[in-house]
Amino acid sequence: MSQEEHNSVVVVGSTMIDLISYSSRVPQAGETIVGDSFQMTFGGKGANQAVMASILGSQVGFINCLGKDVYGDSYRENLEKYDIDLTYLSEGESPTGVATILVEPDGTNRIVIVPGANFELTPKAAREGVLNFAPRVVVGQLEVSIDATLEAFLAAKEIGATTILNPAPATGITALPDGLLETTDWLIPNENEFQALSNEVVSESSIFSFVSGKKFSLIVTLGEEGVIFADQNRGLVTYPASKVDAIDTTGAGDAFVGAFAHGLDQGLDPGAAIMLGLDRATDSVTRKGTQISYMAKND
């Protein structure tokens, strides 16, 4: 296989069947409410990011584990439609992951994931996939085991690939293993994830102290406020997002990460890759769903 034929972005990440309910508000404990609409779609942070990078034109390889069930079969067909290399998409014993998502009229969401087979992805399989795909960019999140992500990033560094870690979800995580941070080139948390990892709310000073002495560059995504970029050498830059009427913000962060990964793969400078990510994330919130909200701009 020549260098040009290699998958240029590899995502080590999750697949979820998204069960999304849209309602005027979210229920309180013990309460049942009547929703306005529902859709069952293909999601999972990793797969969302892979789909966005592929839509934009990167050759994408995907490393993950699906359940041996009807959800797993239809998920595989979905990823095939996007022309994503599934050589390292295996089958586990647990069910395919699912996400229950509640969306309110202002587009904000609440998500519960049950990862299932996603956590059957082994460090060995993650490593083998990265080494054989030999990409320029490797992307990870926290919906598969940290050990698998770490092994993928160690392999990425062995072949000189750029690594992007989206530390999501960060629930229950107060710090990332040193090995993972040492092999991360770009760390992209949202506000909540930044707070979980730094134990501080987002501010110029908390961002500066978080990146101080670190090798990675940081991008904190702030929803409609845009993103803040910071690293040790280049200081801090805020990139605002365009104003739009958001109807569903689910998967917007993934749109950003996938488009940013594509930008780096194409050799854009970080600022241009950030702008591309913002453009795609902003566009995605104007439509319902996750992956299905990414397409329209290219139609």
Task: Decide: 24 and 147 in contact? Cβ < 8 Å.
Answer: no
Closest chain position to ligand RIB (CB): 43
Tokens of 122: 């082994």
The dihedral sign for the CA sequence 143, 251, 237, 196: negative
Q: Which strands form 137-140's sheet, in the order they lie side by side?
A: 89-92, 60-67, 9-12, 137-140, 162-165, 186-187, 217-221, 227-231, 235-239
* Residue type present at position 286: T
Q: What is the DSSP letter of 177?
A: -
Residue 235 backbone dihedrals phi, psi, to 5 degrees: 75, -150
Considering the complex, state which of residue 94 and residue 266 has its C-beta at the smaller distance from ligand RIB: 94
* Residue 14: CB minimum distance to ligand RIB, A: 6
* Residue 108: CB minimum distance to ligand RIB, A: 12
Given 18, 254, 265, 283, which residue is catalytic? Answer: 254
Considering the complex, state which of residue 101 and residue 134 has its C-beta at the smaller distance from ligand RIB: 101
**Helix runs in the chain, H state only:** 45-55, 70-81, 123-133, 146-158, 178-182, 191-198, 204-211, 252-265, 270-284
Task: Decide: 118 and 44 in contact? Cβ < 8 Å.
Answer: yes
* Residue 178: CB minimum distance to ligand RIB, A: 26
**What size, in residues, is the chain?**
299
Considering the complex, state which of residue 134 and residue 255 has its C-beta at the smaller distance from ligand RIB: 255
Closest CA to 294 of 128, 49, 9: 49
Active-site annotation holds for 185: no
* Residue 47: CB minimum distance to ligand RIB, A: 8
* Residue 45: CB minimum distance to ligand RIB, A: 5
The dihedral over CA atoms of 190, 192, 193, 198, expressed in degrees to the nearest 10, equals: 120
Q: Which helix (H) or strand (E) holds 221?
A: strand 217-221
* Residue 220: CB minimum distance to ligand RIB, A: 16
Considering the complex, state which of residue 21 and residue 132 has its C-beta at the smaller distance from ligand RIB: 21
Considering the complex, state which of residue 154 and residue 164 has its C-beta at the smaller distance from ligand RIB: 164
Considering the complex, state which of residue 99 and residue 156 has its C-beta at the smaller distance from ligand RIB: 99
Q: Distance (Å, rounded) from C-alpha 244 to C-alpha 184?
A: 32
**Residues interacting with ligand RIB, by CB under 6 A?**
14, 16, 18, 43-45, 48, 99, 111, 113, 143, 250-251, 253-254, 290
List active site positions: 254
